Structure 1
Amino acid sequence: MGRKRSYTEAELLDVTKKLLLEHGYDGFHLKLLSEHLVGARSTIYQYFANKEEIVAACMKRVMRSIMSKSAEVDETDSLAALQQILYVYVEESDFHQLLGDAHKINVANSEAAARDMSYIEQGHEELKVQLGRIFAKANGEGNLRQDVPLPAQISVFFNLINTPNVLRMPLDEWSKLLFSMWMKGVAK
């Protein structure tokens, strides 16, 4: 009998995330996942019943991490809070790629996947509320340009997350550079 090694749920979700980012939802399947794990394919089913459950759990795990880090942001200084939030989002920038495929998950196939996707939607709403609150505070304190509508400022800020780190800087430095460019622009 061949050697059987069990892997943890965390290891399984780490590999799932990596493969989803490489292959997308449509290219991800349980056979591919099992090929990248050391151990029996049947171990996957100890944790999840199907593809939908695995992908939804992977997304939920990332959302939980983002929400936890966002909750730790000190909102006393609105500009410092925005800079901290940007770092949290840049740190998990690939989450947006994962979320792009969220609509493909058939929640009718799994109650667990439906719960996880509901959690993700709720988390997304909570993050939007937090970001809106911090922006409103920064705007009320006169820290933001009054001639640029707040929704436009938020949109541009949020899209900084998807800016490729072409300089391959450490994430904290990269997010500070992005924040500085957003706040000051690039004009002389």
Structure 2
Amino acid sequence: MGRKQSFTETELLDVTKRLILDHGYDGFHLQLLSRHLPGARSTIYQYYSNKEEIVAACMKRVITEMLANASEVDETDVMEALQQVLLVYVEESKLHQLLGDAHKINTANSPAAKKDLAFVEEAHKTLKVQLTRLFGRAQQEGLLREDVPLPALIGVFFNLINTPNMLNVPTPQWGKLLFQMWMGGAKKE
């Protein structure tokens, strides 16, 4: 009978995410990962064949959670929906840092990594469609400035995600504050 696994796939992906955010894709390697997980390094291979598969699976998991949370936003009140979507993004503010290294993943010998990265790309498109729809509605309802092009409004909105929380307030409070600041510049007078 084989030795019991020391960690779950979820734990593996949680540690992977943290290490990639701390060390970047280039600084992340399986030896580093194994040092941060209990048990034998060989346990990693029970889940994934190589670094590329682990990192792609981590990216897929993060964007899947984000997509699920964004799709649960009630879009009845468009401005409330935009605030809730911003909170979803702020709660996973490191997503862009994590996904920024997706182009470094060599998928030539890893069909699993290639499939996961294709999913990540499609999820990005889905999130973009939601934002474009909400911003378009807000402009049509006269709630946002019409003299500012939609891509500019969305771009500034997206950049709020990268604003450091130097006040160290809870994420929901931080997201609300960012939204209020954004509205101060985007709200129709």
Instruction: Give the TM-score of the pair, scaled to structure 1.
Output: 0.95
- The total of aligned residue pairs comes to 184
For 1:109-158, what per-residue CA distance to the aligned partner results, in whole angstroms no more than 9, with x for missing partners?
A: 20000010000000000000000000000010000011211111110001
Q: For each residue in 1:33-73, what CA deviation from the matched residue of structure 2 results, as whole angstroms up to 9, or x when unmatched? A: 00000111000000000000000000000000000000100
Match of 2:45 in 1: 45
Alignment of 1:103-182 (within 5 A): 103-182=103-182
Query: SS at 1:185's partner residue?
Result: helix
SS in structure 1 of the partner of residue 108 of structure 2: helix
Give the gaps of 5 or more residues in structure 2.
none
Give the superposition deviation at 1:4: 6.6
**How do 1:51-130 residues align onto structure 2 when only pairs under 5 Å count?**
51-130=51-130
1:52 and 1:105 map into 2 onto residues whose CA distance is 6
2:15 is aligned to 15
Instruction: Work out the CA distance in 2 between the residues paired with 1:79 and 1:110.
Output: 42
Matched residue type, 1:63:
I
- For the 8 Å contact 1:21–1:98, the answer to whether it is kept is yes
CA offset digits 1:65-110 (Å, max 9, x no partner): 0000001001111100000000000000101101110000011120
One-letter amino acid of the counterpart of residue 177, structure 1:
L
Deviation at 1:185, TM superposition (A): 3.5
Structure 1, gaps ≥5 residues long: none
**Distance (Å, rounded) in 2 between the aligned partners of 1:15 and 1:97:** 16
Counterpart code for 2:157: F
Q: 1:79 and 1:101 mapped to 2: Cα distance?
A: 32
CA RMSD of aligned residues (A): 1.3
Could you tell me which residue of structure 1 aligns to residue 185 of structure 2?
185
**In structure 1, C-alpha distance between the alignment counterparts of 2:101 and 2:109, rounded to whole Å:** 16
